[in-house]
């Protein structure tokens, strides 16, 4: 039978989804028309690897394409066969990875199912902790801890940390404030004694510096202790600097956070809250 007729029949079977019959027809062409072997091998390789072929066989497909490359170096199908070999290798590797991940997922699922009681207990523990944190966050802070060396401000309620913020300090941050104009941030125990919703630094909370000890030390030195120490936001007009403000200590002794952070602190810290500032 004419090779072109057989090829049309094979293509028709392929298009109908009868892949086994198509392969049989291509094998017949190989026997009766060996001059078309390179093209037929290529077509058979495609059928073996075709995604909709429920019985696809990548090994058989590779053998077909490799035979074209090896035995027919001048074939018009050689380059396409090389590309198909690469493509099949990629598919096989991907399938192997998917299978490995699926196996790992199955193992994890089995391990999880075998520890149902432990998981339930952990869920209860997490739920209790979440409830505890939620309850704490609903309460105002009763202490503000400012750690100068760590550049951190921490809000605390009933011994539990509500939130921690990164801060900037006075331009001369080492050591306690000693006198007016030294650009140092105080160290000691203070309170929030007032607030300003129209601050030149977005919002501000006033710290009760100087306390009695600060005033006594200043008198002994014959200097003025200074004042107006605040927890505040970014200077009005400069809010776009955001968190980058904390890359350097830029205040005149105050404690600075971003405007968004200051809004949180302003809400959570009532007047009278204890403020501890450590070196």
Instruction: Please say if 232 is a catalytic residue.
Output: yes
Tokens representing 1 are 């039978």
Distances (CA, A) of 17 to 12, 20, 88, 150: 9, 9, 21, 70
Beta-carbon neighbour count of residue 63 at 10 Å? 14
State the sign of the Cα–Cα–Cα–Cα dihedral 133, 137, 141, 146: positive
Right CATH for 143-278 from 2.40.50.140, 3.40.980.10, 3.30.830.10, 2.40.440.10: 2.40.440.10
Q: Quote the pLDDT of residue 111.
A: 72
Predicted pLDDT of residue 142: 92
Residue 225, pLDDT score: 92
Per-position DSSP letters for 12-34, written without gaps between them: HHHHTT-HHHHHHHHHHHHHH-G
> What per-residue confidence (pLDDT) applies to 242?
81
Residue 98, pLDDT score: 67
pLDDT number for residue 130: 62
The catalytic position among 48, 206, 232, 245 is: 232
Residue appearing with tokens 């290798």: 89
> Can you give the pLDDT at residue 206?
97
Q: In the prediction, which pLDDT does 116 show?
A: 67
279 DSSP 8-state letter:
-
Ordered strands of the 188-199 beta sheet: 160-166, 152-157, 143-147, 274-278, 188-199, 202-207, 230-232, 255-256
Kindly report, as residue ranges, where domains of CATH 2.40.440.10 are found in the chain.
143-278
In the predicted model, residues of the chain with pLDDT beneath 50 are none
Task: Note the pLDDT of residue 167.
Answer: 96
38-71 tens-digit pLDDT: 999 999 999 988 888 888 888 898 899 899 989 9
Q: What are residue 199's phi and psi, to 5 degrees? A: -70, 155
Please state the φ and ψ torsions of residue 86, each to the nearest 5 degrees. Answer: -60, -45
From the list 48, 202, 206, 254, the catalytic residue is 254
Rounded to 5, what percent of the chain is helix, strand, coil?
50, 20, 30
Task: Say how far apart CA 40 and CA 23 lie, in whole Å.
Answer: 10
Q: What pLDDT score was predicted for residue 95?
A: 65
Q: Where in the chain is the domain with CATH 1.25.40.10?
A: 3-105
Q: Does the 3-105 domain belong in CATH 1.25.40.10?
A: yes
């Amino acid at each position: 039978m004419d090779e072109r007729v057989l090829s049309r029949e094979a293509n028709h079977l392929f298009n109908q989804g009868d892949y086994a019959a198509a392969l049989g027809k291509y094998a017949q062409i190989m026997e009766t028309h060996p001059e078309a072997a390179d093209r037929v091998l290529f077509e058979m390789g495609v059928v073996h690897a075709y995604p909709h072929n429920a019985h696809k066989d990548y090994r058989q497909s590779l053998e077909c394409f490799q035979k074209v490359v090896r035995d027919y170096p001048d074939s018009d199908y050689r380059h396409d066969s090389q590309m198909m070999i690469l493509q099949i290798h990629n598919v096989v590797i991907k399938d192997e990875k998917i299978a490995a991940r699926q196996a790992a997922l199955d193992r994890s699922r089995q391990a999880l199912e075998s520890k149902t009681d432990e998981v339930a207990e952990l869920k209860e523990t997490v739920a209790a902790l979440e409830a505890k944190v939620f309850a704490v966050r609903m309460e105002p802070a009763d202490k503000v801890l400012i750690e100068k060396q760590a550049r951190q401000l921490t809000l605390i309620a009933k011994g539990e940390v509500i939130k921690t913020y990164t801060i900037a300090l006075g331009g001369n941050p080492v050591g306690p404030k000693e006198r007016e104009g030294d650009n140092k941030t105080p160290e000691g125990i203070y309170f929030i004694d007032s607030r300003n919703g129209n601050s030149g630094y977005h919002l501000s909370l006033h710290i009760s510096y100087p306390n009695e000890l600060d005033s006594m030390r200043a008198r002994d030195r014959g200097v003025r202790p200074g004042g107006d120490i605040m927890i505040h936001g970014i200077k009005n007009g400069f809010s776009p600097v955001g968190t980058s403000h904390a890359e350097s200590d830029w205040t005149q002794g105050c404690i600075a956070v971003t405007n968004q952070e200051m809004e949180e602190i302003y809400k959570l810290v009532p007047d009278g809250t204890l403020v501890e500032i450590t070196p």
